[in-house]
Structure 1
Amino acid sequence: MSDILDAILERGDLAHLALFLWACVATAQAHLALRELGEATRRIDAFVRELARFNRRCGSDS
């Protein structure tokens, strides 16, 4: 087992593996953040539509 670990450390593959894992985690977090942002945008849009509908019904007195 130490031979395999020595080979990985000598060739620098461990750094490439760490960089790859970091990139995967960063990409996953960005994907989740964008998905949450899209959901928040849809909720705000629904709220604004309901507010506009309320204003059409109740605010047409002026």
Structure 2
Amino acid sequence: MSDLIKMFSERGDLAHVALLLWAIGASLGLWFVLREWAAAVRRFDDFVHALDLFNRRARRRAQDEE
């Protein structure tokens, strides 16, 4: 590993290594954000579905009581 670092430092390609590390970090961050966003959308969809079910049952009970 130290040979790889020595090769990059001798050739002056440290900026390329830094850019690669930044790109990897940004890609992983984006993947994490999208994964969490998808999970939040699923939770919200489950909530809306449960609320719709509750409203249907409440309407049915109100009609039965009339």
TM bracket, shorter-chain basis: 0.7 to 0.9
The C-alpha deviation readout for 1:29-49, integer Å capped at 9, x for no partner, is 000000000000000000000
> RMSD of the alignment, in Å?
2.1
1:2-41 maps to which residues of 2 (within 5 A)? 5=6, 8-9=8-9, 11-41=11-41
Q: Distance in 1 between matches of 2:8 and 2:43?
A: 49
User: What's the offset of the Cα at 1:12?
Assistant: 2.8
Give the TM-score normalised by the residue count of structure 2: 0.75
Aligned residues: 59
User: What's the offset of the Cα at 1:10?
Assistant: 5.2
Unaligned stretches of 5+ in structure 2? Answer: none
Give the TM-score normalised by the residue count of structure 1: 0.80
Runs of 4+ in structure 1 deviating by more than 6 angstroms, as ranges, are none
Unaligned stretches of 5+ in structure 1? Answer: none
Q: Distance in 1 between matches of 2:39 and 2:20?
A: 29
SS at match of 2:35: helix
Q: Distance in 1 between matches of 2:44 and 2:8?
A: 50
Match of 2:48 in 1: 48
